[in-house]
C-alpha cells in the first residue's frame, strides 16, 4: 500500500512538469487546424532526397597557350608564372551514397593541375554522427627573381639573379573527426609542409660577397590529436601535438671556377675571389604542444571562455663550410687561401599563452564583454664555432661560444559595453590596455654595439562602434580606435594612433546592391629621433547588378582609391647624421566582371564573361598592373560545354622598366557535367 501511495504521489508531480517555451514537450501536441489540413498531403521529408543522382559535378580540361613574354620573363614568373600545355583547370564532384554504407556524401575538388603554379586537391567525406574526414593538398611553385629587390650591382647595369629561388612547396593537411555531433568528439590530424628547389644566395666572406648556387630543402610534419567535450552548457577541448622539422640547405661552387664577388676594387693590389665552396646546414627541430580550451554558459546572463596554450619548439644545427680562393681578413690585414668553419648550435623556445574572458548581460539591452590575454615566450640559444684559416705559412684557429636570449612578455586586457539604444541602433564603447616587455641579447657582447636591447610596451586604447540599420535594406557600421602609447618596441610600431572604419551596404532593389567602405589610420610617434608620421586612407565602392533576376546578365564591379604617406627619421650609418625616410603611394584599383547571356543562336545559348582588373600607383614605386580577360561558354549538349578564354597580363615599373612584361594567355577546353 505504501508503494501505491508513493506512486500516487509521484504521478501528479510527473504530470505537472511545466511546458517550457524554449523546450517543447516531448509528448505529441494536439494538432492544429492547419496540421490536420496538411498532414495527409505532406509526405515525410527524407534527409537525403532519393531522386538526387549519386554523382554530380563537373570537370574542366583543355589546353593553354602563352604568347611570348614581351619583357622580363623573370618578372613574369615571379608575378604570374602560368605556363602552357594541357591542363586540368578544375573539377568539382559530389558523390552521395544512398545506402550510406561507408559515407553519406563525399566531395572532391581539384584545380590547377598540369604544371600550373598552384595546384590543389581537396576531398572530404562524412558519415553522419560517425566521422568526418578532410584531406587537402596543394602544390605551389615559389619563384622569385627580381633584381630590383637585392642586386648590389644593379647600378652598374649588371642584372644578377641575387636572392632568387625556384622552389615547389607541397602542403598536405589531413584530419579525421570521429563521432561529430556527439558530446565526445575525438580527432586526429596530420599536416605536412615540404619545400625543395634551388636558387642563388650570397656567400658572405670577411670582405666580399659571392653569389653562389644554393639547394633548398625543408620539411615540417605536424601531428596532433585531441578530444572535444561538447555539452549544452559546457565545452572543453584538450589537444596534444608535436612537430618535426628538417632542413638541409647547401651552398656550392665547383672547384676551378673563379667567382669575383661584388667587390671588384683591389685591396692592397690584390683582387679577391672565391674558387671553391661547399657549405651545408643540417638543421633538425622538434616540438610538443598542449592546448586546452573551455567555454561555458552556466548562467543565462553569463558566458565565460578560456584557453591555455603551451608549445616548446627546439632546434639543433650542425653547419660546416669549406672555402678556397683569395680571401681577406680585414681585422688582421692578412690574405689567406682557404677557410673552414664549423658551428654547432641549439635553441629552445618555450611559449605560453593564456586567455580568459566572458560576456555579462545585466540588462536586456546591455552587454558587457571582458577579456584578458597574456603571451610569454623565451628563445634561448647557444652556439659554438670554430674557424680555421689557412694563411700562407701558418694556420689560425678561432673558437667562439655565444649565448642568445629573446624574451617577450605581452599582456592585454579589454572591456567593451554594448548598448542597444533602439532595435536598429547599437552603440559600443570600450577600453583596451596593452603592456609588455621585450629584450634581445647576445652574450658575450664582445665589444659589439647591439649586444643587448630592451623595450617596454604601454598603450591605452579607447574603442567605439556603432551599428545602425535605419531601414531594412540599409546597414551602416562604424568603428574607431584612439590610442596613446607610453612606449613601443620599434620605431615604426603603432604609437599614438587613430583608426576609423566605416561601411555602408544598401540593397537598392532585388537586383541591385551597393557597398561603400572607408578606412583611415593616422599614427604618430613624436619622440625625438623618431618623429614618425604614418597616414593611410582607403575608400572603396562596389556594385552588384543583376537586371531581370540575372536573365540578361550580371555586373560586378569595384573601385578603390588608397593613399599612404610615411615619414620617419633615421640615422645614416656612415655619418650618424639624421635623415628622413619618405614613402608615398597613391593607388587606384578597379575590378569589373560582366556576365552576358548572349541569347539563343540556333540550339545553343552561349554566355560571355568579360572584365578584369587594373592597379595603377604613383609615388615611391610607380607601378601598373593590368589583367583584362574574356571567357566564352558554348553549351554543346546536356552534359558538355566548350569554353575559350583570353587573359592579358601587363606589368610596368617606372623606375625599373626592364622588369616590365606583357603577355597573352589563351585557353580552350571542355566542361563535362553530370
Partner 1 sequence: MRNIERVLLFALLGAGARAQTPPASPYVGSETCGTCHEDIAKAFNKTPHHLVDGSDKKGGFDGKACESCHGPGAKHAESASAADIRNPGKLTAAAIDKTCLSCHLNQPTHIGRLASSHAKDLVACTTCHKIHATGSDELVVRKTEAINKQCEGCHLTVAAQFQKPFHHKIPEGSMSCVDCHNPHGSMKPAMTQSFGANEPGCLNCHGDKRGPFTFEHGPVRFEGCSSCHASHGSANPRMLDRPVVQQVCLECHANLPTVKTSGTIGVVPPAFHDLRSPRYQNCTVCHQKIHGSYVDRNLLQ
**Binders of partner 1 in range 508-537 (CB under 8 A):** 515-519, 527-530
Residue showing cell 555602408: 504
Nearest distance in Å: CB 467, partner 1: 4
Give the bridge partners for 218, in sequence order.
195, 247
293 binds partner 1 (CB under 8 A): yes
For residue 121, what are the β-bridge partners? Answer: 110, 137
- Pick the closer one to partner 1 by CB: 338 or 613: 613
Distance of CA 668 to the CA centre of its chain: 32
Per-residue contact flags (x/-) with partner 1 for residues 95 to 124, judged by CB under 8 A: ------------x-x-xx----xx-x---x
Rounded CA separation 233/246 (Å)? 43
Q: How far apart are CA 288 and CA 189, in angstroms?
A: 14
Residue of 175, 259, 271, 315 that binds partner 1 (CB under 8 A): 315
Q: Rounded to an integer, what is the distance from CA 76 to the centroid of its chain?
A: 23
Q: What is d(CA 137, CA 352) in angstroms, rounded to the nearest whole number?
A: 30
Q: How far is the CB of 335 from partner 1 (least distance, A)?
A: 19
Cα gap 176→581, rounded to integer Å: 51
Strand residue runs (E) in 97-183: 105-113, 118-127, 131-144, 164-178
Start-to-end Cα distance in the chain: 72
Considering beta carbons, is residue 589 or 604 the nearer one to partner 1? 589
Each residue 48-67 as x (binds partner 1 by CB under 8 A) or -, in order, gives xx------------------
DSSP 448: -
Per rule CB under 8 A, is residue 277 in the interface with partner 1? no
Helices (H) and strands (E) in the chain, counts: 4, 29
CA–CA distance, 31 with 653 (Å, rounded to integer): 74
**Selected range binding partner 1 among 347-355, 391-399, 629-637, 666-674, rule: CB under 8 A:** 347-355
Nearer to partner 1 (CB atom), residue 340 or residue 562: 562
Measured CA to CA, the distance from residue 160 to residue 150 in angstroms comes to 9
- Give one DSSP letter per residue of 277-321, joined into a string: EEEEEEEEEEEEEEEEEEEEEEETTEEEEEEEEEE--EEEEEEEE
Query: Measured from the CB of residue 646, what is the shortest distance to partner 1 in angstroms?
Result: 17
- Quote the cell numbers at residue 373: 590575454
Rule CB under 8 A: which of 392-451 touch partner 1? 402, 404, 406, 408, 414, 416, 418, 420, 423-424, 426, 428, 438, 440, 442, 449-450
- Residues near 12 by beta carbon (within 8 Å), at least 6 away in sequence: none
CB nearer partner 1, residue 257 or residue 366? 366
- Considering only CA atoms, which of 479, 439, 487 is closest in space to residue 460? 487
Report residue 221 as a C-alpha cell: 610534419
Segment interacting with partner 1 (CB under 8 A) among 59-67, 268-276, 287-295, 596-604? 287-295
Query: For residues 25 and 68, which CB has a smaller minimum distance to partner 1 in the complex?
Result: 25
Looking at the Cβ atoms of 271 and 353, the one nearer to partner 1 is 353
Quick note: the x/- pattern for partner 1 over 214-253, rule CB under 8 A, is --x-xxx-x-x---x-xxxxxx-x-x-x-x-x-x------
How do strand 273-299 and strand 314-329 relate by DSSP bridges?
antiparallel
Cβ atoms of 367 and 359 closer than 8 Å = yes
Residue 20 in contact with partner 1, rule: CB under 8 A: yes
Q: Which of 190, 435, 489, 646 binds partner 1 (CB under 8 A)?
A: 489
Assess 26 for contact with partner 1 (CB under 8 A): yes
Q: Element (H or E) spanning 3, and its range?
A: helix 2-15
Applying CB under 8 A, among 209, 248, 496, 524 the residue interacting with partner 1 is 209
CB of residue 379 to partner 1, shortest distance in Å: 5
Report the residue from 88, 159, 317, 630 that binds partner 1 according to the rule CB under 8 A.
317
271 binds partner 1 (CB under 8 A): no
**Nearer Cβ to partner 1, position 100 or 424?**
424
Determine, following the binding rule CB under 8 A, whether residue 586 of this chain makes contact with partner 1: no
Site for partner 1 in 596-615 (CB under 8 A): 613-615
List the interface residues with partner 1, window 124-143 (CB under 8 A). Answer: 124, 128-129, 138, 140
Binding to partner 1 (CB under 8 A) within 149-208 occurs at: 149-156, 162-163, 169, 171, 181, 191, 193, 195, 201-202, 204
Amino acid at each position: 500500500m505504501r508503494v501505491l501511495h508513493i506512486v500516487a504521489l509521484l504521478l501528479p508531480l510527473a504530470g505537472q512538469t511545466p511546458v517550457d517555451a524554449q523546450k517543447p514537450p516531448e509528448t505529441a501536441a494536439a494538432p492544429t487546424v492547419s496540421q490536420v489540413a496538411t498532414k495527409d498531403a505532406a509526405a515525410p521529408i527524407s534527409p537525403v532526397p532519393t531522386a538526387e543522382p549519386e554523382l554530380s559535378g563537373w570537370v574542366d580540361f583543355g589546353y593553354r597557350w602563352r604568347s611570348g613574354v614581351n619583357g622580363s620573363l623573370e618578372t613574369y614568373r615571379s608575378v604570374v608564372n602560368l605556363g602552357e600545355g594541357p591542363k586540368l583547370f578544375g573539377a568539382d564532384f559530389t558523390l552521395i551514397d544512398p545506402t550510406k554504407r561507408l559515407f553519406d556524401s563525399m566531395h572532391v575538388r581539384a584545380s590547377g593541375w598540369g604544371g600550373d603554379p598552384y595546384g590543389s586537391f581537396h576531398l572530404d567525406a562524412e558519415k553522419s554522427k560517425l566521422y568526418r574526414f578532410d584531406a587537402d593538398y596543394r602544390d605551389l611553385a615559389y619563384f622569385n627573381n627580381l633584381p630590383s629587390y637585392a642586386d648590389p650591382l644593379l647600378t652598374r647595369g649588371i642584372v644578377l639573379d641575387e636572392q632568387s629561388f625556384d622552389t615547389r612547396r607541397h602542403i598536405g593537411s589531413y584530419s579525421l573527426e570521429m563521432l561529430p555531433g556527439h558530446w565526445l568528439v575525438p580527432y586526429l590530424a596530420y599536416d605536412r609542409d615540404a619545400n625543395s628547389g634551388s636558387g642563388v644566395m650570397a656567400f658572405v666572406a670577411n670582405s666580399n660577397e659571392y653569389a653562389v648556387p644554393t639547394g633548398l630543402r625543408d620539411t615540417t610534419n605536424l601531428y596532433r590529436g585531441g578530444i572535444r567535450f561538447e555539452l549544452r552548457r559546457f565545452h572543453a577541448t584538450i589537444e596534444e601535438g608535436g612537430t618535426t622539422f628538417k632542413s638541409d640547405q647547401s651552398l656550392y661552387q665547383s672547384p676551378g671556377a673563379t667567382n669575383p664577388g661584388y667587390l671588384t676594387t683591389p685591396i692592397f693590389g690584390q683582387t679577391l675571389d672565391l674558387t671553391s665552396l661547399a657549405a651545408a646546414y643540417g638543421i633538425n627541430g622538434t616540438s610538443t604542444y598542449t592546448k586546452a580550451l573551455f567555454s561555458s554558459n552556466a548562467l543565462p546572463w553569463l558566458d565565460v571562455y578560456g584557453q591555455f596554450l603551451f608549445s616548446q619548439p627546439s632546434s639543433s644545427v650542425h653547419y660546416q663550410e669549406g672555402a678556397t680562393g683569395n680571401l681577406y681578413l680585414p681585422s688582421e690585414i692578412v690574405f689567406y687561401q682557404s677557410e673552414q668553419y664549423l658551428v654547432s648550435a641549439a635553441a629552445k623556445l618555450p611559449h605560453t599563452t593564456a586567455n580568459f574572458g566572458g560576456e555579462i548581460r545585466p540588462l536586456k539591452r546591455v552587454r558587457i564583454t571582458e577579456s584578458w590575454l597574456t603571451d610569454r615566450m623565451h628563445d634561448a640559444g647557444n652556439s659554438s664555432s670554430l674557424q680555421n684559416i689557412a694563411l700562407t705559412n701558418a694556420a689560425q684557429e678561432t673558437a667562439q661560444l655565444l649565448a642568445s636570449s629573446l624574451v617577450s612578455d605581452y599582456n592585454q586586457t579589454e572591456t567593451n559595453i554594448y548598448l542597444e539604444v533602439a532595435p536598429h541602433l547599437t552603440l559600443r564603447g570600450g577600453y583596451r590596455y596593452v603592456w609588455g616587455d621585450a629584450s634581445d641579447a647576445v652574450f658575450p657582447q664582445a665589444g659589439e654595439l647591439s649586444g643587448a636591447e630592451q623595450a617596454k610596451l604601454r598603450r591605452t586604447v579607447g574603442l567605439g562602434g556603432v551599428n545602425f540599420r535605419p531601414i531594412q535594406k540599409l546597414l551602416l557600421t562604424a568603428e574607431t580606435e584612439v590610442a596613446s602609447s607610453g612606449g613601443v618596441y620599434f620605431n615604426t610600431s603603432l604609437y599614438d594612433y587613430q583608426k576609423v572604419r566605416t561601411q555602408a551596404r544598401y540593397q537598392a532593389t532585388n537586383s541591385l546592391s551597393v557597398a561603400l567602405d572607408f578606412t583611415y589610420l593616422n599614427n604618430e610617434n613624436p619622440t625625438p629621433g623618431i618623429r614618425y608620421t604614418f597616414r593611410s586612407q582607403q575608400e572603396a565602392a562596389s556594385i552588384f547588378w543583376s537586371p531581370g533576376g540575372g536573365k540578361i546578365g550580371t555586373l560586378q564591379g569595384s573601385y578603390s582609391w588608397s593613399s599612404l604617406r610615411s615619414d620617419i627619421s633615421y640615422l645614416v650609418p656612415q655619418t650618424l647624421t639624421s635623415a628622413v625616410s619618405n614613402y608615398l603611394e597613391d593607388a587606384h584599383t578597379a575590378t569589373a566582371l560582366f556576365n552576358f547571356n548572349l541569347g539563343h543562336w540556333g540550339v545553343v545559348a552561349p554566355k560571355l564573361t568579360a572584365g578584369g582588373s587594373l592597379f595603377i600607383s604613383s609615388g615611391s614605386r610607380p607601378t601598373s598592373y593590368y589583367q583584362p580577360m574574356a571567357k566564352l561558354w558554348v553549351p554543346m549538349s546536356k552534359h558538355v560545354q566548350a569554353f575559350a578564354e583570353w587573359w592579358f597580363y601587363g606589368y610596368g615599373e617606372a623606375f625599373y622598366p626592364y622588369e616590365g612584361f606583357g603577355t597573352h594567355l589563351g585557353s580552350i577546353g571542355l566542361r563535362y557535367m553530370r
